[in-house]
Structure 1
Amino acid sequence: MIEVEVKVKIDDKDKIAEQLKNLGFKFVKKKFQEDIYFNGIDRDFRETDEALRIRDEDGKFFVTYKGPKIDKISKTREEIEVGIEDKEKMRQIFIKLGFKEVPPIRKVREIYKKDDIGASIDEVEGLGLFLELEKSIPDINKKDKVLDELMEILKSLNISRENIIRKSYLELRGLQ
């Protein structure tokens, strides 16, 4: 699966939430997420632009691999995710295999949906407020069309495409 994603820093969470609702987005839920990232055994994920993490989402656990970003504008990349039963046991497996753990990223995420587009307002510990817009697609051929869709939403929110941040929260914290 390919995840087409754009992210921007925001100042006013309530204002953006209201604007999203005015565009037809519906509030879905608010949740806490803790992401534990690992660096590679045979390569440095900072250099290859990959990511491997364990996510704790309100007590549900997932392992996610993210491939390198596909374009120079967005955070579009391949993403493979699977649910797991035990976060701590998975963490121990990764460590015993030689993966290097980095400090976790913690955030409170408010999720909004409009059709098949997700909007998340993230309050990231130590970094501040961000808006992420994303849509998953089965193949890369639809990327440009979806990216245009997301750019139109940003424009409707009076956010310039120059404000797009391609770095992950991990990169923004300088933890990778």
Structure 2
Amino acid sequence: MIEVEVKIPIESIEEIEGQLIHNEFKYQKTVVETDTYFTSDHYDMRKHDKALRIRTTENHDTGEMRAQLGCKGPKLDNISMTRKETEIEIREPEKMKEILKELEFYPAFCRVKKTRSYYSKKRMTAAVDQVENLGSFLELEILVEKEADREKGLEEIKSVMKQIGCGEKKTVRTSYLSMIEKFST
């Protein structure tokens, strides 16, 4: 799958959530996601514009816990955070970390922890994030199967951005991890 995604810093979570609901997005759930990113001396993920992470998720509404191992490929355009993404569920994230260490992948300097509220409308997902030590953001995302569908997905996202009052010039193409690392050094 290709994740067509746009990330926008926001001033007010409540205002954006109101705009999403006004534009027929439906609340899905609120979770706390903690991401541990990995890199190695033999394969520098940042140099290749890729990301390897273990994400643990706690659902605020149900208390359910889950974890995934994910790999994101390089960004596919100069506007968005669009990339190929592959994820699998894992039952034992601590053991997965040990396997990665055996393969000489080690955790990045810092982790990313956020409270995320999910909303959806048709095939689009909106994630309203409060990122620990960073601020508030809106991510709009559509998953497409083929590269040929990527541009159409991006146009759908731009249309929603316009409807909720978010201009294209406000988008950022930097990962939360990179932003946090920048402010931590």
Same fold (TM > 0.5): yes
Match of 1:154 in 2: 161
Match of 1:136 in 2: 143
Given that 1:3 and 1:77 are in contact with CA atoms closer than 8 Å, whether structure 2 keeps it comes out as yes
* Residue type of the alignment partner of 1:69: K
Distance 1:80 1:160 in 2: 29
Output aligned runs, 1:10-89, within 5 Å. 10-58=10-58, 59-89=65-95
TM-score, normalization by structure 2 = 0.92
- How far the C-alpha of 1:47 sits from its partner, in A, is 1.4
* Residue type of the alignment partner of 1:167: T
Matched residue pairs, number? 175
Q: Report the secondary structure of 2:30's partner residue.
A: strand
- How far the C-alpha of 1:113 sits from its partner, in A, is 0.4
Q: Deviations over 1:23-55 (max 9, x none)?
A: 110000000100000013422111111000000
Q: Deviations over 1:85-133 (max 9, x none)?
A: 1010001111121002112110000000001100000000000100000
Runs (4 or more) in structure 1 with deviation over 2 Å come to 40-43
1:93 is aligned to 2:99: yes
Distance 1:127 1:114 in 2: 27
Given that 1:41 and 1:100 are in contact with CA atoms closer than 8 Å, whether structure 2 keeps it comes out as no
Given that 1:54 and 1:63 are in contact with CA atoms closer than 8 Å, whether structure 2 keeps it comes out as yes
Distance 1:135 1:159 in 2: 17
Distance 2:41 2:112 in 1: 21
